A and B are shown apart, each in its own frame.
Chain A
Amino acid sequence: GAVVSQHPSWVICKSGTSVKIECRSLDFQATTMFWYRQFPKQSLMLMATSNEGSKATYEQGVEKDKFLINHASLTLSTLTVTSAHPEDSSFYICSATLTGIGETQYFGPGTRLLVL
């Protein structure tokens, strides 16, 4: 049980375009979803925490107008990288929990973004 999917698994886009990444909990309702970014050979970095039906909470240094997060339902959260630039190229991973940070997190397989 507790499967989280992400779509797309990889994306290549031109600089200036916007990219939407979906994160779905397939067999459970996720009250809280988390978005992480990982640069090559670096640790995972939490970008934002989203709770269904409310605005996401962004970590310091993460531009909320650039990384739009929508958690419209208990099974779906989306991350939109607006006006992507090459420095946004990274591995984006979502995770989901039933109730919040203190619970086991179930990770999606990740989305590799390459901005040319």
Chain B
Amino acid sequence: KNEVEQSPQNLTAQEGEFITINCSYSVGISALHWLQQHPGGGIVSLFMLSSGKKKHGRLIATINIQEKHSSLHITASHPRDSAVYICAVIRGNLIFGKGTKLSVKP
């Protein structure tokens, strides 16, 4: 069993829909990253959080340390949000989930 599990693996949404991507982990961590990887491969760090909730534009990330769970929400999704979203936990080093491929249709 992977230490970091993401769900769903693939997600197709219509433009404007509210999207949730989940990340569960089985190890103790100091913090968690949400990353966005574009089709060309480039990676952008969206959030790093160790508790509570963070918001940036249409993106919201939450984490529940006790339940070992984090969610990434995208409000009013847009085709340009299409990417792979990766959860990575910090436990000494970074441990990556396998990613969620999001496709937003116009």
Q: Which residues of A contact B (CB under 8 A)?
A: 34, 38, 42-46, 49, 59, 91, 93, 95, 101-107, 109-110, 112
Q: Indicate if the CB atoms of A43 and B41 lie closer than 8 Å.
A: no
A112: which B residues are within 8 A, CB to CB? 41
User: Which of B19-27, B43-51, B58-66, B75-83 participates in binding chain A?
Assistant: B43-51
Q: A43-B99, A102-B31, A104-B48 are in contact. Are A49 and B41 (CB under 8 A)?
A: no
In the assembled complex, which residues on chain A have CB atoms less than 8 Å from the CB atom of B102?
none
Contact B30–A102 (Cβ < 8 Å): yes
Query: Given A101-B90, A102-B30, A43–B96 Cβ distance below 8 Å?
Result: yes
Q: Contacts A43-B86, A43-B98, A104-B48 given; indicate if A109 touches B93 (C-beta within 8 A).
A: no
Closest 5 CB pairs of A and B: A107-B43, A43-B96, A110-B41, A109-B42, A44-B96
Given known A-B contacts A43-B96, A44-B86, A93-B43, A107 and B35 have beta carbons under 8 A apart? yes
Q: 20 additional contacts, CB 8 Å, given A43-B97, A102-B90?
A: A42-B98, A43-B99, A44-B43, A45-B96, A49-B93, A59-B93, A93-B41, A95-B43, A101-B90, A101-B92, A101-B93, A102-B30, A105-B48, A105-B94, A107-B35, A107-B42, A107-B44, A107-B45, A109-B40, A110-B41
Interface residues on B, range: 20 to 34
A95 CA to B86 CA, complexed, in Å: 15
Measured between C-beta atoms, what is the minimum distance from A90 to chain B in Å? Answer: 11
Q: A43-B99, A102-B31, A104-B48 are in contact. Are A110 and B42 (CB under 8 A)?
A: yes
> Residue-by-residue, is B67-106 near A (CB-CB < 8 Å gives 1, otherwise 0)?
0000000000000000000101010111011110000000
A91/B98 in contact, CB under 8 A = no
Q: Given the complex, which residues of B lie within 8 Å of A95, measured CB to CB?
A: 43
Complex-state Cα separation, A105 to B48, whole angstroms? 9
* Residue in B closest to A112 when the chains form the complex, CB atoms: B41
How far, in whole Å, are A10 and B35 apart by their CA atoms in the complex? 22
Contacts of B98 in A (CB 8 A): 42-43
| In the complex, chain B residues whose CB is within 8 Å of the CB of A107 | 35, 42-45
